[in-house]
Amino acid sequence: MKRRLISTIAVIGAVGLALSACSSSGGSKSGVPQDDKKPSSLTMLVTASSSEDTLKKLATEYTAKTGITIKFDEAPYDQLPTKLILAKQSNQSTYDMSMVDGFTLAQITASGALAPLDSYLTSDKAYDYSDFPQGLQDYGKVGSVSYGLPLSTEPYLQWYRSDLYSQLNLKPATTWADAISNAKDLQGAGYDGYDGVYGPAGSAHYYNAMLASMGGRLLDPKTYKPLLDSSVAKQAMKQYLSLKQYSPDASSSSAGLDAVNAFSHQQVGQMILASGWWGTFADPKNSDWAGKFATAETPLDKVGSYQPVSSLYGWLASISATSKHQKAAWDFLSWALGKSNAETFVETGAPPGRISTTSNAEFVKELPLLPSVADAAKDGLAMPRIPEMAQIVTVLSQDISSMASGQLSLDDGMVQAQNDLLNILVQSGRYKG
């Protein structure tokens, strides 16, 4: 009897210990002791992009210069935040640096996975942070703390097939009415007039770009109240959905990458997309229309009460909070993203939006979209820096997909989208109602 009691207590104790071990492993907040010795290697979490290609080129040069090897751990785009957050939760120094998509920055920093960069930015004069417009400096911040260095600056631009536009005597659209008119003409000539994204994964980004360009916003910038019940939001959605009739059939279920593939290989006349895809479209290995496309500003219409602006996206480079070599990581990033390497980034089509880069005449000649990057870097609209944005984008994309596929009418869809966003923000306590 006694022995059984002891065994039972032992088993319960073991299970309890295991459980507490599991739970405590997820919540460690201890700072990582820094190793001041020069590391033999640093690891950066990256995803397939022009930025990754450029960093890899520069890493070879950096290794030759310093003897520090830069290892790149490539992960699918969707998994970047998860990998970083899990590394932090398990307190593993798996990554020293990482690429971070701007709109996920707040979500990742909420877990404490990224190191603040302000002290480096202040002390490192060679990096020259003042060479970035204020809008771009804010792009890498959550609240007032900087967590990301501009790695690529990618405003949403109007992309069009210059050969088809010449053939049909069309001009790049300056308003959305022009864009629709061009779409009609292109479709009339047997081409796809537009390349929209209407699938359940990511269509919210494209709708948001149209909304911002019409003077609307997803959320009130101060209170975070969803603004999808505004007339401009509804008008933007109506216009966004109306462009589906000019888009390739596959756009009904497409995500951003599908739109890129369609523009690269099909007869698509125009689309709205982040500027960072220049390198892909300009490369004959990746695109059938290399040399036959051009860019222009996103069409702008003053419909809503806010300033119509382009949407600002782009990659940031961050330092992992669990890295034991944060100073060494900074040294690499500061050098790689410094002025002296601007040309390498320009060559691959997605440079950080330094003033000295976007105003350089030679660079502009090489990469004609740089003036657009300069404008967007100044006043482009980034997604709000709140941890709920990933959830908002997913849910809103599903609602857009429901409207595009006819499961919801425009009116019902907008009501549902507004309620969905309200639920998310009220539930998280972000919006007090």
In terms of CB distance, is 149 or 390 closer to another protein?
Answer: 390
SS3 assignment for the chain: CHHHHHHHHHHHHHHHHHHHHHHHHCCCCCCCCCCCCCCCEEEEEECCCHHHHHHHHHHHHHHHHHCCEEEEEECCHHHHHHHHHHHHHCCCCCCCEEEEEHHHHHHHHHCCCECCCHHHHHHCCCCCHHHCCHHHHHHCEECCEECCEECCCEEEEEEEEHHHHHHCCCCCCCCHHHHHHHHHHHHHCCCECCCCCCCCCCHHHHHHHHHHHCCCCCECCCCCCECCCCHHHHHHHHHHHHHHHHCCHHHHHCCHHHHHHHHHHCCECEEEEEHHHHHHHHCCCCCCCCCCEEEECCCCCCCCCCCCCCEEECEEEEEECCCCCHHHHHHHHHHHCCHHHHHHHHHHCCCCCCHHHHCCHHHHHHCCCHHHHHHHHHHCECCCCCCCHHHHHHHHHHHHHHHHCCCCCHHHHHHHHHHHHHHHHHHCCCCCC
According to CB under 8 A, which residues from 413 to 432 bind another protein?
427
Smallest separation (angstroms) from another protein to the CB of 196? 12
In the range 147-186, which residues lie near another protein by CB under 8 A? Answer: none
Nearer to another protein, 94 or 344 (CB): 94
Residues 11-30 that bind another protein (CB under 8 A): 15, 18-19, 22-23, 26-27, 29
Task: Fill in the per-residue mask, 57 to 96: x = in contact with another protein (CB under 8 A), - = not in contact.
Answer: ---------------------x---x--xx--x-------
**In whole angstroms, how close is the CB of 87 to another protein at the nearest point?**
11
Candidate list 172, 199, 304, 353; residue touching another protein; CB under 8 A: 199
> Which residues inside 91-150 make contact with another protein, applying CB under 8 A?
107-108, 110-112
- Taking the complex as a whole, the smallest distance from the CB of residue 432 to another protein amounts, in Å, to 17
Task: With contacts defined by CB under 8 A, name the span among 171-179, 228-236, 247-255, 347-355 that binds another protein.
Answer: 247-255
Each residue 264-283 as x (binds another protein by CB under 8 A) or -, in order, gives --x-----------------
Among 200, 276, 279, 314, binds another protein (CB under 8 A): 200
Which C-beta is closer to another protein: that of 192 or that of 301? 192
Q: How many residues bind another protein (CB under 8 A)?
A: 42
Q: Which is nearer to another protein, 182 or 401 (CB)?
A: 401
Contact footprint for another protein (CB under 8 A) = 15, 18-19, 22-23, 26-27, 29, 78, 82, 85-86, 89, 107-108, 110-112, 199-201, 248-250, 252-253, 255, 266, 387, 390-391, 394, 398-399, 401-405, 407-408, 427
